[in-house]
Amino acid sequence: MFTIRNFENELEFFQDMLYESIHILENKPSKEVLLNSPDIRKYHEGWGRKGDKALIAVDAENKTVGAVWYRLFDDNNKSYGYIDGNTPEIGMAVSKEVRGRGVGTLLMQNIIQQARDEGYNAISLSVDLENSSAIHIYQKLGFKDYEVVGTSKTMIYKF
């Protein structure tokens, strides 16, 4: 049994999940190096600004096991899954020990509802083309292909 709650200043766990969400199969840099690279730093630097939202999944023992978040970007600071300045980009990761047990789907359903409740017209995400299991889940939830850039696919969910 997993429950979802609002992010409560768990920045270290959030950064752990951000690191996990970056799909690099071989020679993945350390957490410190990767999260401080210019292309990735924008996803967590100054967290808590307007448009930032994160949800945390916890298990029956109240242990954090996953997170989903979104953030707004703009034309001057585009993200991998950038659509426009009014479409938040989602990121998500689930701890290895609970993958395949529905935590990711539960997190995504909750963040989709959160974005809808906050009045957004759409949300986006970027996923590695080789991450077929994630792509399948996103398609099942209603995300549609938007564009392919390099080795990543941008997908969009419209309300």
Over the stretch 57-110, which tens digit does the pLDDT of each residue have?
A: 999 999 999 999 999 999 998 888 999 999 999 999 999 999 989 999 999 999
Q: How far apart are CA 158 and CA 97, in angstroms?
A: 31
Mean pLDDT of 40-66: 94
11: confidence class by pLDDT, cuts 50, 70, 90: confident
- What percentage of the chain exceeds 90 in pLDDT? 81
What pLDDT, on the 0 to 100 scale, is given for residue 53? 95
C-alpha distances in angstroms, 83 versus 91, 92, 146, 156?
Answer: 14, 18, 9, 8
